[in-house]
Chain A
Amino acid sequence: MSLSILLCLPVLLALVATQLPERYVGRGAALLSLIPLGIAIDYLARFNPGNSGLQFVTDKLWISSLGIHYKLAISGLNIALVVLTAILFTISLAWSSQRQIDRPKLYYFHFGLAQSAVLGAFMAQDLVLFVGFFDLMLIPFYFLVGSWGTGDRVRATVKMVIYTAVGSFLMLAAAIATGVLASGQHSTALTFTFTALQHLGLSRTDQDWMFLAFAAAFLVKMPLAPFHGWLADAYKSMPIPAVAVFSGVVSKVAAYGFIAIVLPIFPQASHHYQTLMLVIALFSILWATAMAFTTKDARLVIAYSSVAQMGFIMLGIFSLKSTGDQGALLQMLNHGIVTAASFFIVAAVAARADGSENLDDMGGIAFRAPVLASFFLIVTFANLAMPGSSNFIGEFMILLGVFSTQMWIAIVATLGVVGAAVYALRLFITAMHNRVGGRVKSFEVRRIEVIAIVPLLALILVLGFYPQFGLNKSQDSVKAAIAPAAFGGCQNDFPGRTVLSCVAYDPSKTPTSK
């Protein structure tokens, strides 16, 4: 079975669902989305963790004159994220299907398109294909926010698209330049596949430029602190199912891009900019934690907490240690689940506070809804990385990785862990306990809320008991992906890799000398 099926199914099934009578479109879309989920799980089952290379490769020459391949594959880096994507989309569709949605056919079509684009971005093994899917992801969310959002949604959506496009168009130029320069410097035919580009090292100066362009795209998309301007408006305005998948998987595409593309293809530049990236990540953690303390809006608490979490993931990635990067990958999975669950819970809580997402209007909800409160508590514990949760393992590995690279950054970053406990508990206490809010009409958790929240809770618990589940698939792939960057791109550990310039190579910075 080819990966193209998994790629195309969501959008095709969405088109099938739109043919149903309007009342059944939602339920149809949600049920049909179980098919790609099943396929993704099937791939997970058949995945061979011992192989650090690409598996289930689909490779066709797409644009022959430019050497662009339509190449999809599963590797240790993306398998968990592909499954996560399928899960979160199914859950979001299930949540949507229980609600009255205006113009449902368009709504579910955009959801299907979004899922295909996200899956495409995760599975693409060609730079141009990746950039294409990365940009395409934006379009359905543009419509989802603009047509089905709340508040000043058109402004929010245009802002989001322009912010993201600034980065991703630069990335497009950089992607083309990477292919052209790499083939020029090695006098080979034009190629854009990841594997080929890893063996065609660019010169140092070129790598630096390309790195910055790619980093711009990914940092905006994640987003990290100085590049997050679109975040508050867009997250505030997005419909809940859209924000759950956006924060759950779309932002992970950017983090995944760093591990799968930037580190292997621009190893020297990654090494060179390591400290800069770590500092951005650190700033992000501290700033977002501070914002999450102070905001009065329940949804924004989760939004900023996810910026802080992305900061941790970034720390892990640029620790350039296999522990740190594996922690980052595990944390991507954890955060994807936890943040989606958090958004659904915020929606459930807001529904009991007369539709308000303001913390001042909440309070005392737990008295009449103990089950919901327990759900919330589990998610809160996962979010603050309680020992025993998988998030704890993830953050621990990340900090361990950073600790052996840049100790002071790891020490400061620990403040973020402490801060997470404060804002997560503050959110839980103000919403669920304290004095009963003025407009609160609490009631126990409803079936449609259970549909969305319980599967995610189950995943949180499974990963908490057995985090190895998220780790063992990726070990070898992560090591292979970060190896060139970890050694500054100068150690010739890649058979067939040509190192063009190691002039800037500083032996004191390599991990081996420590």
Chain B
Amino acid sequence: MNLAQIAAITQHHLKGPYINWAALSPTVVLTVGAIAVLLLGLLSSPMVRERLVPSAALLTLLGAIGAEISRFNHPATIVHGAMRVDDLAILIDLICAVSAIATVILAWRSAAPREAGHGEFHALLLFSVMGMAILASAQDIIVLFVGLELLSIPLYILCASEYRREGSLESGLKYLIIGSVGSATLVYGLAMIYGATGQTGFTGIGNAIASNNILTDPLLLGGIALTAVGFAFKASVAPFHQWTPDVYEGAPTPVTAFMATATKAAAFAIFLRFFDVALISDQNKWAPLLAALAAITIIVGNVGALGQTSLKRMLGFSGVAQAGYMLSGVIVGTQLGVSATVLYLGVYLAMNIAAFAVIQAHQIETGDDRIAGLRGLGKRSPALAASLTVAMLGLAGIPGTVGFVGKFQLIHALVDGGYGWLAIVLVVGAMISLGYYLRVVAAVWMSPAGEHAEISGVPAPGDVLPVALAPIAGGSPEADQLPYTEIVFVAVLFATLCVVFGILPSPLFHLAAHAGAAFSGLF
């Protein structure tokens, strides 16, 4: 045995698992970008910090999106089976990245990055997106946990980033404590599942459950229950949702927008992967449990939102309710269910970003987010008002918006999977939700009685009344003069997407079907 051979053998033994860097490229781009942004933020020039840093963050996210798109339809299992970059992961990554882009734009001139430091704010955001990317492609409970913490810890800080404001600090602390409880529960659950199956990989766990006849093993069931609770904390599924409205209300609005959309997407990605891959053979044990949770979540979220006066709190509760809707795609355990959940995550992103963009613009202008404060928005800024209207109607599931498409596919999946009763609960939830979404729309467009001339059946006919005050009409380009053009742009862009894909939803169904097909083990 010559030296060369020895060297080769040593090298072989010392070598880590083979890493397909191409498949991992989105994560790599995010890592490099995040570090670069952090370092850039150390420069003292305000120009660099206020312009260059967010631009670099945007560039990183665009790069990540490019990398993700290039990997679309090329599923690969990487890092020795610890991660799988399939179309589900890619779509979730895209949702998170788009949400982060919107967040950066919304935060462009807001207080949060100024106070927390531009470099830190944007780097934390990028790290969080990276955590989501890892979580969405996790195939192993260790990777799962790493991804989950990587996504959560930056968020705890981001929530508290407006640290001169009491509400922001409260929000960060609350999220930290409750998030930690959730993580701890999850770790217990994962440890018990490992104890029951002796495996850390998802497929390994799945095979062990199927072959070792441990479907009713209390250790396994306990593990499943605790894991479900841990995920439920992250996805704000009732009764583990109490933090949601408080944290949403207190956190800076751009961060809330990010949490509401991206975190939810990542949490549901892992919900889907863990329950519909690793635990699928035990489905008849956990599905009724999750279905009950989903039903409770839909009712609690929708009823809770009814009495809210703060828009962000209302959207917090509405987010809880929507989590209940999305959970139904997990429960049925079919490819259709997976695609329905992913589709809903996508449409939820568009509707929520549009709504939060309007809230951010409104907050900059008036400093509050009360629903009553929206009164007259239809006259002040028709663009924002129309965007908020589309978002609200979409969240309520009115046809012509993507919300209808999303609900359609969820109901389809439920009926198809034999959970017709949950479809009824979903529909009842949607009915209740009209009560609060329409209140917002009414506040925007319908000023209180007597404020403007009304037409009824009875204006004096014939004689046209002289109009004392010319009514202010919609369509004035006021919005352009406001100091937050980029926010209006985000709001209008996402609202337009809501309508366009609401009328022509075929591409969405095709994309979502890819996500469903990623789970080849399901029907």
Contacts and interface: CB of A to CB of B under 8 A. Distances in A.
Interface of A: 18, 22, 62-66, 96, 98-106, 128, 131-133, 135-136, 138-139, 142-143, 146-154, 157-158, 161-162, 165-166, 169-170, 172-173, 176-177, 180-181, 184, 239-240, 299, 343, 346-348, 350-351, 355-357, 446-449
Nearest to B460: A351
Given A66-B509, A146-B442, A180-B415, A169 B454 contact: no
B399 A152 contact: no
16 contacts: A100-B459, A105-B474, A139-B393, A139-B400, A157-B446, A158-B434, A158-B438, A172-B411, A173-B424, A173-B426, A177-B411, A177-B420, A239-B457, A343-B457, A446-B461, A448-B461
B462 to A, nearest CB: 5
Nearest to B459: A99
Most B Cβ at <10 Å: residue of A149, A173, A184, A348: A173
Given A66-B412, A176-B412, A350-B457, A153 B420 contact: no
Given A65-B513, A169-B430, A181-B415, A149 B454 contact: yes
Contacts of B475: 18, 105
Interface string B495-507: 0000000000110
Complex A-B, nearest 8 residue pairs according to Cβ-Cβ distance, in ascending order? A347-B457, A132-B399, A355-B458, A240-B457, A146-B446, A150-B456, A169-B427, A65-B509
B114 to A, nearest CB: 38
Interface stretch (B2-10, B121-129, B220-228, B463-471): B463-471
Contacts of A446: 461-462
A136 B509 contact: no
B348 interface: no
Interface in B251-301: none
Contacts of B163: none
Given A65-B509, A132-B399, A169-B397, A176 B415 contact: yes
Contacts of B411: 172-173, 176-177
A153 B393 CA distance: 19
B404 interface: yes
B398 interface: yes
Nearest to A22: B473
Nearest to B456: A150
A158 B442 contact: yes
Nearest to A137: B399
Given A63-B506, A103-B452, A103-B471, 18 more contacts: A62-B506, A63-B505, A100-B455, A143-B446, A162-B434, A169-B427, A170-B424, A177-B420, A180-B415, A184-B416, A239-B455, A240-B457, A347-B457, A347-B458, A355-B456, A357-B457, A447-B462, A449-B461
Nearest to A352: B461
A448 B442 contact: no
Nearest to A347: B457
B518 to A, nearest CB: 16
B400 A132 contact: yes
A102 B453 contact: yes
A153 B464 CA distance: 24
A352 to B, nearest CB: 9
A177 B415 contact: yes
Interface string B412-440: 10011000100110111011001100110
Contact of A157 (B428, B442, B459, B509): B442
A139 B396 CA distance: 12
A431 to B, nearest CB: 13
A172 B408 contact: yes
Nearest to B409: A66
B510 interface: yes
Contacts of B430: 165, 169
Interface in B389-413: 393, 397-400, 404, 407-408, 411-412
Contact of B446 (A65, A147, A162, A166): A147
A102 B454 contact: yes
Nearest to A184: B416
A415 to B, nearest CB: 31
A191 to B, nearest CB: 13
A331 B28 CA distance: 70
B416 A180 contact: yes
A397 B438 CA distance: 42
Of the candidates A62, A139, A355, the one having the most CB atoms from chain B within 10 angstroms of its own CB is A139
A351 B393 contact: no
A103 B462 contact: no
B415 A104 contact: no
Given A133-B399, A142-B438, A102 B455 contact: yes
B145 interface: no
Given A102-B471, A103-B471, A348 B461 contact: yes
B412 A180 contact: yes
Interface majority SS on A: helix, strand, loop or mixed? helix
Contact of B427 (A100, A104, A148, A173): A173
A162 B458 contact: no
B1 interface: no
A136 B412 contact: no
Contacts of A101: 455
A150 B455 CA distance: 8
Tell which of B412, B435, B505, B509 has the most Cβ of chain A within 10 Å: B412
Interface in B300-324: none
Given A153-B449, A169-B430, A347-B457, A100 B398 contact: no
B243 interface: no
A154 B474 contact: no
Contacts of A158: 434-435, 438-439, 442
Residue in A96, A158, A346, A447 with the greatest tally of chain B CB atoms within 10 Å: A158
B399 A131 contact: yes
B397 A346 contact: no
Contacts of A151: 449
B421 to A, nearest CB: 11
Contacts of A147: 445-446
Contact of B457 (A100, A170, A351): A351
A346 B456 CA distance: 11
Contacts of A128: 408
A139 B499 CA distance: 14
B473 A105 contact: yes
A503 B80 CA distance: 59
B205 to A, nearest CB: 31
Contacts of B459: 99-100, 351
Given A18-B475, A99-B455, A176-B412, A161 B445 contact: no
A103 B467 contact: no
A240 B457 CA distance: 5
A357 B456 CA distance: 11
A384 B428 CA distance: 40
Contacts of B427: 169-170, 172-173
A65 B393 CA distance: 25
A133 B506 CA distance: 18
A143 B461 contact: no
A272 B157 CA distance: 62
Given A104-B473, A158-B439, A173-B424, A239 B456 contact: yes
A133 B399 CA distance: 7
B501 to A, nearest CB: 11
Contacts of B513: 65
A150 B474 CA distance: 21
Contacts of B449: 151-153
B78 to A, nearest CB: 29
Contact of A154 (B378, B442, B456, B464): B442
Interface string B463-497: 01101000111110000000000000000000000
Contacts of B434: 158, 161-162, 165
B474 A240 contact: no
B417 to A, nearest CB: 10
Q: Which of A101, A102, A104 has the most CB of B within 10 A?
A: A102
B487 to A, nearest CB: 23
A52 to B, nearest CB: 30
A138 B438 CA distance: 12
